[in-house]
Amino acid sequence: MKRFFITMLLVLGTGVGAVYAQGTVAKSSITFEIKNMGINTGGSLGGLTAKIHFVAANLSASTLEASVDVGTINTDNTTKHEHLRSEDFFDVAKYPKITLKSVALKHKSGDNYIGTFLLTIKDKTRQLDIPFSYTDKGNTVEFKSTFKINRLDFGVGSSSMILSDVVTVHLDCEERKTESATL
């Protein structure tokens, strides 16, 4: 509640009207694609938790934080996703979470934004610029993003002539609003 009042003061202090929204993840989808022997393959991750505090009219007061349970990785192939959970790739026993935390957010146009985020995988943190869309649907808001990372930057697997270094990540998160105020 204290954070809510501080945010209201920040927004009011700038003289900009805004809608503040904060809620809980209603549904989410995280999928990934990578080329293996020249063929697109991929899977999904579950267990997304997020703390989203988004003020479209005052992005400096906004924060986006999320984590995903790497143990939920699913490739529809038991042998493959167990190998991805092993020390060779994600080492889930030692590093059970992937985290993402906003550093700065900028409006591009319409519902499109770009965020500078700290992405942490296997205790390795890299700063990335990630495009996303934010759509207010009344009782819910939706965040969508597609971005690429180099798996080797995070120590996921090793250099390979068979497996691509570049992974494409697709994120779709719908949040149910639990607090809102028009300022």
Mapped onto helix, strand or coil, the DSSP state of residue 59 is helix
Q: Judge whether residue 5 has pLDDT over 50.
A: no
171, with CB counted inside 10 A (0-12, 13-18, 19+), is buried
User: For all residues of the chain together, what is the average pLDDT?
Assistant: 86
Domain 2-182 is of which CATH architecture?
A: Beta Barrel (2.40)
**What is the pLDDT, as a whole number, of residue 25?**
82
pTM across the whole model: 0.83
Asked whether 159 and 25 are in contact (CB, 8 A), the reply is no
Asked whether 157 and 165 are in contact (CB, 8 A), the reply is no
In eight-state DSSP terms, residue 10 is H
Q: Can you give the residue ranges of every domain in the chain?
A: 2-182
Tokens of 137: 């649907």
In 15-134, where does DSSP find H-type helix? Answer: 78-85
pLDDT digit string, tens, across residues 44-75: 999 999 888 888 889 999 999 999 999 999 99
